[in-house]
Amino acid sequence: MKQHPKQNERLHHILDAFSRVTITVIGDLVADEFVLGEISRVSREAPVLILKHRERKIVPGGGANAICNLADLGVNVLPVGVVGDDEAGRTLIKAFRHKRIPVSGVLKDKSYPTITKSRILAGMSHTTGQQVVRLDREPSDPPNAHLRRELVLAARKYARASDAILVSDYGYGAASPEIVSAVKAKRGLENVPVMLDSRYRMLDYSNVAAATPNEPEVEELLGTRVGKDWQRLARAGEQLMNRMKLESLVITRGKDGMVVFCADRKPVDIPIYGSDEVTDVTGAGDTVIATYTAALAAGADAVEAAHLANLAGGIVVMKRGTATVTLDELKHAIERPLPPPRAH
């Protein structure tokens, strides 16, 4: 299928506008740690592998990954979140500074350990490591009242200069419905659209313009089972659109691509871009919400934004570990025909 020249030109115009877009991200900042070990032998103490340590790295994850995706797309990004006064927190701030991302909205607190997800990878010499276990280190409590006030103040300050607010809520409290509502309650910010990625409590947010849940999250929210039933999926999407009064909704479906809902047209079912034999899905949702938000803020309609988010998601799942998509990669991708929507 040959891509229409006008469509190609339109998508290029949207991508070229990314550099003129500013987005505030209110998010749970996560450090993704990867520890690679070479399989040595089976332990005599227990039926477990003994790994010889080979490599360790910490990269931005969660809301921090969404922030880095926006930066690598050429967007002016303003992060708001909390890290601890620890190695993981310092590493996240260093990563932001390396990408020239402002860090004045990132609060550092000694009583709040940085959320860290450690993945242990095992492999043989000259082979790719496979994840064998994950260890999560989390704060015992959400940010305290003082931190919450500071988060609201920082987000309000940034939002005044922003085209959109991206909320990356992993359930740790730095991007709660209460914080987002307090930010939006400030006079003058009513018209700044909020784009939401919330893992556990999407329905608790109000005044949201768009959201990008995955299919299992939708099933859990609505207490339904979609499976391969298009009518059930369409009803679930319409129910969320109505309950949350959304302008648009993207439901991601893994190897089945994504479906975009908007008020003025029927749902559009977009197949996955590229191969369905993915390398790593870690952080793919962060890439999708970042690209979708950037495209909408740059003037794209919901379907155009979903196509770009689908391309970005297809690119990032072919990379190992928590990764980002660059503007050049997206520009290269749109030179190829877009996956045509499925008919229903």
Side by side, which strands form the sheet with 130-137?
49-62, 29-42, 115-123, 130-137
Asked if the structure places residue 48 within a domain, the reply is no
Does the structure show a pLDDT above 80 at 317? yes
- Average pLDDT over the chain reads 92
Placement of tokens 């550092």 in the chain: 108
Unique residue bearing structure tokens 């047209």: 265
User: Taking the CB of residue 43, how many other CB atoms lie within 10 A of it?
Assistant: 10
Model confidence pLDDT, tens digit, residues 1-25: 445 567 788 999 999 999 999 999 9
The rounded distance, in Å, linking the Cα atoms of 320 and 53 is: 19
Mean pLDDT of 79-85: 97
Residues annotated as catalytic are 286
| Statement: residue 132 has pLDDT above 80 | yes
* Domain count within the chain: 1
Sequence-ordered list of residues with C-beta below 8 angstroms from that of 289, at least 6 positions apart, any chain: 66, 166, 168, 195, 197, 212, 309
Instruction: State residue 133's pLDDT score.
Output: 93
Give the pLDDT score at 5.
66
Residue 310 CA to residue 325 CA, distance in Å, equals: 12
**Among candidate residues 212, 161, 154, the one with its CA nearest the CA of residue 23:** 161
User: Does residue 194 sit within a domain?
Assistant: yes
pLDDT of residue 199: 87
> Do residues 68 and 95 make contact, with C-beta atoms less than 8 angstroms apart?
yes
CB 318 within 8 A of CB 285: no
Q: Report how far residue 102's alpha carbon sits from residue 80's, in angstroms, rounded to the nearest whole number.
A: 10
Q: Which of 64-73, 75-84, 217-226 has the lowest mean pLDDT?
A: 217-226
Of the candidates 98, 116, 106, 92, the one whose C-alpha atom is nearest the C-alpha of residue 24 is 106
Q: How confident is the model at residue 124 (pLDDT cuts 50, 70, 90)?
A: confident
The DSSP-derived string for 227-247 is: TT-HHHHHHHHHHHHHHHT-S
CATH of the domain at 271: 3.40.1190.20
Cα of 103 vs its chain's centroid, Å:
19
pTM: predicted TM-score of the whole model, two decimal places: 0.93
Which residue, among 285, 135, 278, has the nearest Cα to 202 in the 3D structure?
Answer: 285
Q: Which tokens in the block code for residue 52?
A: 């010889």
Cβ pair 33, 117 in contact under 8 A: yes
First to last CA, the chain: 19
Residue 84 belongs to a domain = yes
| Confidence at residue 277, expressed as pLDDT on a 0 to 100 scale | 67
Q: Give the helix/strand (H/E) hosting 304.
A: helix 302-316
Selection from 232, 317, 304 nearest residue 273 by Cα? 317
Encoded tokens for 40 = 């040595």
Calpha distance 337→318 (Å, rounded): 19
226 touches 219 (CB < 8 A) = yes
Q: What is the pLDDT, as a whole number, of residue 4?
A: 59
pLDDT of 245 higher than 80: yes
Domain enclosing residue 314, as ranges: 5-30+61-114+140-333
State residue 331 phi and psi, 5-degree precision.
-65, -40
338 falls within a domain: no
